Amino acid sequence: MNEILIINKLTKQFEGEPKPSIENIDLTLKSGRCLGIVGESGSGKSTLARAITGLIPVTSGEVIFDGKCISKFSPSQYRRIYKDLQMIFQLPRESFNPIRSLGESIVLNLKNFGFCGNYKNKAISLLNRCGLDSSFYNKFPAEVSGGECQRAAIARAIAPSPKLLICDEATSALDMIVQRKIISLLNDLKDEMGMAILFICHDISLVHYMCDDVAVMKDGRIMEKDVTSRIIHRPQNKYTKALIEASDVY
């Protein structure tokens, strides 16, 4: 498996802030694996996701995606790699255009990234793959449940067959039963498509269920990182131990 994402000494300090939101982050993610980033709110997880995807500029360090250093890319250069780098957000309805049907939003992603073929049939096939029937093609974001909307968001994100899928608290707005179903779907898609997943979450019990590897963040820094089983059963850092003790991971 090749390293699809390499992060070296990544730092982001917002103007006027006394200290960096993320500092000296070093991470590696291989194709076909899921890396969990876990920590409390304010630990820097979402800042890290936004820095990787070019939504905010970095202060220093580098992000290497698929062999290219993308951390200094211009917006137009970033747009050219979004076929291979997709992101799912915490609040799915807010990521959709409310006056466009779910199917139309998926079709737009297909068109943007060069799909050739019957757009509607492909969109319905993607919805089916994510557990939604063909009727959802014509439904609007406000007409479906949060879990259904997140499934549609996943269908849209996998439309261009990305090499890396970033999930930024993608299950935290859903109830526990729906969370588990979405995570099971993501795991199935990872195995089917061979893509890498960066799974950002504050709940270490979900990370335990989802991820091959885990990095624990606190105050913008990585406290420890390892394969999931060792993090869960033999944590080395006091903060990691406290996260595990506060969860239902056992």
- The residue ranges of DSSP E strands in 39-172, in sequence order, are 60-65, 68-69, 85-88, 164-168
pLDDT at position 74 over 60: yes
Q: Which residues, in sequence order, are bridge partners of residue 62? A: 8
174-223 tens-digit pLDDT: 788 888 888 888 999 899 999 999 999 888 888 888 899 999 999 999 99
Q: Tell me the pLDDT tens digit for each residue of 84-118.
A: 999 998 888 998 999 999 999 999 999 988 888 89
Instruction: For residues 135 and 151, give the distance between their C-alpha atoms in angstroms, rounded to a whole number.
Output: 14
Determine how β-strand 22-30 pairs with β-strand 3-12: antiparallel
* Biggest CA-to-CA distance, the chain: 54
Continuous segment of H or E residues that includes residue 153: helix 146-158
pTM higher than the cut 0.75: yes
Q: Coil, strand, or helix at residue 55? A: coil
Distance, in Å, from the CA atom of 192 to the CA atom of 195, rounded to the nearest integer, reads: 8
The 3-state DSSP class for residue 210 equals helix
Tens of pLDDT, residues 28-58:
999 999 999 999 888 999 999 999 999 999 9
Report domain extents, the chain. Answer: 3-84+162-245, 97-161
Dist CA 114 CA 178 (whole Å):
32
* Residue 1: predicted pLDDT: 60
Architecture of domain 3-84+162-245: 3-Layer(aba) Sandwich (3.40)
Per-residue model confidence (pLDDT) at position 90: 83
H-run or E-run covering 60: strand 60-65
